[in-house]
Amino acid sequence: MWWTRTKTPKAVESYAPEREAELAAPPHRNAFVMVALGGATVAAFGIAGMQSIFAPVFFALVLTICVHPLRTTLEERGVPRGIATGSVITAVVVLLGGFGWAFILALGQFAALLPQYGPQLSAFAGSLADALSTIGFGPEQINDFINGFDPTRLVSFFTDILGSVAGLTTSVVIVLTMLILMAMDAAFIPTLFKQLGASKPLVVKSMNTYASGVRRYMVVTTVLGAAQGLVNWAALAILGIPGAALWGMLSFLCSFIPNIGYFIAIIPPLIFGLLTGGWPMVIAVVLIYGVINGIIQSVIQPRVVGGAVSLSQSITFFSVLFWALLIGPIGAILAIPLSLLVRALLIDSNPAAWWWRPVIGDLDETKQLMKEEDSEIKAARVQRKAEKRLNETP
């Protein structure tokens, strides 16, 4: 009878490897994760609370890392360490001073030029108000918008920026002071790493990798960003768009902001292109910026930078938002060096955390595995086609 039959037990999928891995995990792992998240939150609030100090200090650190090869080159040629340190500091100060002078000059010229476009800006506001009325905004809201749109406020805005340069004295003093001190301390770094190499080899290796990666990223981005800004400046000047020098400077700064820097840099030229030449000028600006940005940031920069960054697009975009929220706009510019520092401290120097590397963007091994999988799938597909032809043959 059916109730006396012996039932064959079903094959049960073995979870032995997963179970062993779970048992091998450290006890109270969830508690460790929660403590780590709490510590990260406290650290984030701490950094945000001292952003006025943290941002210039880290900026000075990045500058020191970028110019360190100049020191080593001078010392290898027999230049005394004191003179090499002074040369490094002088080079950085000259570069920063030149950039600051060019930025203030371009901003001042634009502030003087802006009142000439007051009527066009008012007309643009009127057309924008008409567009708002077509999508459901009420007359009172539109009138408030038109009455509140005063082009002279833009002039006062840029004038306030020029006047607030004096308020940046504290940050400038911090940057210069830390730059001098870090340049002096950098003379001991090679010997210090040799001293620590025997006891802390992974820490030394991760710091060297971090320094070389940041240096390559910042130097390449600076050179290509300068080229991009100059080309945009020349193109906008040829098109006759006002403030071309300032928009070229803005393009250079936004080249340090991954993913969204292009969209920030293109907005002002689009507005003034629309005011001066209408929609054909807007299309010309979009084409010029699109071609230049596509060639430099999508073709040249990835090949030159290589695997120095190794962060996924999602992590890169999130890091821009995260560090900008924490330490202000400069956080968007320094997002990549800051994220690489976190990775060096928490992942690269800890073998137990190396499995995070492919998760956050180090995909060299993953891409190789994907190529092997694609080859296997292709071979299997070819074999199936061959077997199908063989079976169809009479």
Query: Per-residue pLDDT tens for 116-130?
Result: 766 666 666 666 666
The pLDDT score that the predictor gives to residue 68 is 87
Which of 128, 125, 130 is closest to 148 using CA atoms? 125
- The whole model's pTM is what? 0.77
For residue 138, count other CB atoms closer than 10 A to its CB.
10
- Summarised one tens digit per residue, pLDDT across range 274-297 is 878 878 888 999 998 888 888 887
Nearest to 324 by CA among 267, 264, 279: 264
| Amino acid, single-letter form, for residue 196 | L
- The 3-class SS string of 161-174 reads HHHCCHHHHHHHHH
Residue listed under structure tokens 């080159």? 73
Inter-residue contact 347 to 356 (CB < 8 Å): yes
Domain definitions of the chain by residue range: 53-198, 200-351
Say how many CA atoms lie within 13 Å of 323 toward its Cβ: 23
DSSP three-state, residue 120: helix
Q: What is the CA radius of gyration of the chain?
A: 29
Between 9-13, 141-145, 274-278, the lowest mean confidence (pLDDT) is in 9-13
| Residue the block writes with tokens 């190789």 | 368
DSSP 237-299: HHHT-TTHHHHHHHHHHHTTSTTTHHHHHHHHHHHHHHHHHHHHHHHHHHHHHHHHHHHIIII
Distance CA 25, CA 391 (A): 52
* Contacts of residue 231, Cβ cutoff 8 Å, sequence gap at least 6: 292
d(CA 148, CA 207): 53
Q: Which two tokens stand for residue 375?
A: 């080859």
Structure tokens at 5: 């039959």
Residues 6+ apart with CB under 8 A from 384: none
Q: pLDDT at residue 20 above 90?
A: no
